[in-house]
Structure 1
Amino acid sequence: MIKKAVIPAAGWGTRFLPITKSQPKEMIPIVDTPVIQYVVEEAVASGITDILMIIGKGKRAIEEHFDRSPQLEESLIAKKQLGLLEQIKKISNLANIHFIWQKEMNGLGDAISYARYHVGREPFAVLLGDTLISGKGAPITKQLIDVYDRYKSSVVALEEVPPENVHRYGVIQGKKLENNVLIAEDFIEKPAKEEAPSNLAIASRYVFTPEIFDYLDETKPGKNNEIQLTDAMREMVKKYAMYGLQFQGTRYDIGNKLDFLKTNIIYGLEHEEIGAPLREWLREFSKKL
């Protein structure tokens, strides 16, 4: 049973400057909740109890968000704001959350390698801290864990993307085994459209067996002079079976400003407090466009 997860959250967030000059991109809110809290909640809903976050310079706000805040709690008690009190206490009790600092920004593969001693010889999940995925039925990470339980091998989430966008992602080359599960033959990092073996992109969620650390150790810097996780996966799949799951759900990429705003609107429409008035405002506002 997979109980450990790794959440890399050390990147600079340059596409969101100037706000990310002093605020981690993972702490940017979707409505009233930081992105990374949604990611942690997905992990917990998938059965994860132990989370290691890989953070870097300027990310201490993430630590503080998941820690207790006694002064704030006392203030809410004094004001009898017990609903808010329950919300903030729940944040610090979601899971056993640990932090380690990535010394240099050397890519996603390097960040995950910091989890070797925390994970040990156990399989583990990886959830990127700046991407939201809403699953149909079970959370996406739980869907991956279910596939791992069937095949006892690493598995990655896959999303079908327009062919003209494959250059933005790592993509899989593989053969279909069952409805939405493929066995991987190769992975290619950000291929040109004409070189892509498929339009199934790796979608920010993974389950790995611990052998991935051995391959990360041997991986040389690739694109952007960084240790690319996809490069390690390419070598690993030559010896170990790996799978891809074309998941049931929707991925919200908040890595750019436009998609960030779209995601806020979508989540806002589902919010119990502001959903109805937001929907009415959108109707009225759209008439002026």
Structure 2
Amino acid sequence: MRRKVTKAIFPVAGLGTRFLPATKSVPKEIMTLVDRPLVQYAIDEARAAGIKEFIFVTSRGKSALEDYFDNAPQLEQELRRKGKDELLEILKSTNMDSGEIAYMRQHKPLGLGHAVWCARRFIANEPFAVILPDDVIAAEKPCLQQMVEAFEETQSNMVAAMDVPDTATQSYGILDVKEDMGSIVSTKGMVEKPEPGSAPSNLAVIGRYILTPTVLQKLNKKQTGAGGEIQLTDAIDAAREEGEEVHGFRFRGQRFDCGSKAGFLQATVAFALARDELRDELWNYISDIVHAEKAAQ
């Protein structure tokens, strides 16, 4: 029986300390790329992949995130009164129907694996996706949709993966490759943040996963790993050791690490340049800066 992926977990409990002081009052996940918050990109990607139930693992101070997905009757009424129908439709597209979205608190920051474990009662005995909103992926076909289509064939644990330089492997979970078949890679293990020079490959896991219930069972043990945290990659690898296959999926698209300031700025420029109404003015501004710097040299 082919199992479908209809539920997704969004771990959004982090404090976003790299973006202080902004994140003192604004959850990092609703900081905007151009005019849409990070979490909206993640939701849109999930919807395109056929996700029907959205589970957010939050923490204290994230009420603004919950409000974002709620209806805004006063604002909608004002836009309707002024005949701003296009803005009204954009606003309505951010609303989530009752029962479509759920929230679960992670009371202690014990790692990504622990955040996923917190949502276990919403998952039951079915495959599920995990999306990290910090990883924004620009792609013609959304990344998770690519993965869901591949999962329909493999029916196994799957992690999004991309090739990174040797100097960057210590910042990621790295796949130990058994067979490289191009877009899909079979694995014989994963190493979380390996020491410099010890990485088994250059294929890094990034923030998209499709996982089986076995991974949740492994997370029940609450075993700590790298950094003293409960690592999701450790649970995935434990499921592999029990006989479940784990595949890496080389997605087609460009990933931006919006958990860092530099990555966030790069994404802002890239997404703005992709907008017809912004491209020319922004490109001219960038060109002027580049020319001025060259002239100064």
Which residue number corresponds to residue 40 of structure 2?
37
Which residue number corresponds to residue 227 of structure 2?
224
**Contact 2:114/2:222, CA 8 A, preserved across alignment:** no
Shift of 1:88: 0.6
> Once structures 1 and 2 are overlaid, which stretch shifts more, 73-82 or 120-129?
73-82
**Which residue among 177, 193, 196 is the counterpart of 1:193?**
196
Which residue number corresponds to residue 140 of structure 1?
143
Structure 1 unaligned regions, length at least 5: none
**Contact 2:218/2:238, CA 8 A, preserved across alignment:** yes
1:8 is matched by which residue type in structure 2?
Answer: P
Matched residues in 2 for 1:119 and 1:43: separation?
Answer: 16
**Which residue among 90, 102, 109 is the counterpart of 2:106?**
102
Matched residues in 1 for 2:69 and 2:26: separation?
Answer: 15
**Contact 2:110/2:229, CA 8 A, preserved across alignment:** yes
Matched residues in 2 for 1:134 and 1:114: separation?
Answer: 29
Shift of 1:177: 5.1
**Runs of 4+ off more than 4 Å:** none
| Matched residue SS, 2:213 | coil
Shift of 1:125: 0.8
- Structure 1 residues 270, 173: CA separation in 2 closer, same or farther (over 3 Å shift)? same
1:176 is matched by which residue type in structure 2?
Answer: E
- Structure 1 residues 175, 142: CA separation in 2 closer, same or farther (over 3 Å shift)? same
Which residue number corresponds to residue 126 of structure 2?
122
Matched residues in 1 for 2:221 and 2:286: separation?
Answer: 52
TM-align CA RMSD: 1.4
| Matched residue SS, 2:159 | strand
1:217 is matched by which residue type in structure 2?
Answer: N
Instruction: Kindly provide the CA deviation profile for residues 205-258 of structure 1, in whole angstroms up to 9, marking residues without a partner as x.
Output: 000011111101114222332211112122111011111111111111011111
Q: Tell me whether 1:57 sits opposite 2:68 in the alignment.
A: no
2:15 is matched by which residue type in structure 1?
Answer: W
- Structure 1 residues 219, 195: CA separation in 2 closer, same or farther (over 3 Å shift)? farther
- Tell me the matched-pair count: 288
**Which residue among 258, 267, 276 is the counterpart of 1:254?**
258
**Contact 1:219/1:231, CA 8 A, preserved across alignment:** no
**Which residue among 52, 76, 79 is the counterpart of 1:76?**
79
| Matched residue SS, 2:5 | coil
Which residue number corresponds to residue 265 of structure 1?
269
Q: Identity, % of aligned pairs? A: 36
Matched residues in 1 for 2:168 and 2:204: separation?
Answer: 9
2:89 is matched by which residue type in structure 1?
Answer: E
> Once structures 1 and 2 are overlaid, which stretch shifts more, 203-212 or 221-230?
221-230
Matched residues in 2 for 1:42 and 1:182: separation?
Answer: 23
Matched residues in 2 for 1:55 and 1:271: separation?
Answer: 31
Shift of 1:127: 0.5
Normalising to structure 2: TM-score of the pair?
0.93
**Contact 1:9/1:130, CA 8 A, preserved across alignment:** no
Matched residues in 2 for 1:64 and 1:93: separation?
Answer: 11
Which residue number corresponds to residue 158 of structure 1?
161
Instruction: Kindly provide the CA deviation profile for residues 80-119 of structure 1, in whole angstroms up to 9, marking residues without a partner as x.
Output: 2211111111111489222111111111000001221111
Instruction: Kindly provide the CA deviation profile for residues 44-71 of structure 1, in whole angstroms up to 9, marking residues without a partner as x.
Output: 0111111111111111111111110101
